[in-house]
Amino acid sequence: KGFKPDKVTLVGVLSACSHGGLVEEGYFHLNSMLKEYGIEPDNRHYACMVDALGRSGRLKEAGSFINSMPIKADALVWGTLLAACRVYEDVELGKLAAKKAIELEPSDPGAYVSLSNILAEVGEWEEVEETRKLMKGTGLQKKPGWSSV
């Protein structure tokens, strides 16, 4: 009592709900942002809810959630859905999410790579090749990963 969270705190709360599989609690906190604290959710908050739904395998609901958002979903939100589509091998929804993410962030190779990976996992090799050609046609390259110990 007496504690008023800010936007960053609420991203943390929603992220915790997502990682804990607490979808309904996530909805509760998202809805309470404006009602209880007068804070307008932004794309980071909505991406946390898409992640929660995606981790729970509720991909269609995540897609509907994005379409019902009161603000335009950004590439983060669509990329979050795309990541869930990869886990659950939902090719059709993954294609839609990739298309939207690419439209919003055409210079980010991540959506191309994720879509290519989804297609490869389900053996759609011709579409993998098409996706890779599209990416090369834009001049984008996947940056190799690295780490240091």
What pLDDT is recorded for position 134?
Answer: 85
pTM for the whole structure: 0.88
User: Domain residues for 127?
Assistant: 7-137
Evaluate whether residue 1 is within a structural domain: no
Q: Per the structure, how many domains does the chain have?
A: 1
Distance CA 141, CA 18 (A): 31
pLDDT confidence of residue 141 = 67
Average pLDDT, 10 consecutive residues per value, the chain (149 residues): 88 98 98 95 98 98 98 98 96 96 91 92 92 81 64
Q: Is residue 149 domain-resident?
A: no
The answer to whether residue 126 is domain-embedded is yes
Q: Is residue 101 part of a domain?
A: yes
**CATH number of the domain residue 104 falls in:** 1.25.40.10
Q: Is residue 148 part of a domain?
A: no
Q: Kindly tell me the sign of the dihedral angle through the C-alpha atoms of 103, 96, 54, 29.
A: positive
Contacts of 143 (CB under 8 A, 6+ apart): 109
Give the model's pLDDT for residue 149.
65
Output the pLDDT for position 123: 93
* First-last CA distance in the chain: 43
Assess if residue 144 is contained within a domain: no
Residue at 92 is within a domain: yes
Question: Measured between alpha carbons, how far is residue 110 from residues 51, 74, 83, 84 in Å?
Answer: 17, 14, 10, 14
Report if residue 124 sits inside a domain: yes
Instruction: Select from 41, 55, 56, 53 the least CA-distant residue to 9.
Output: 41
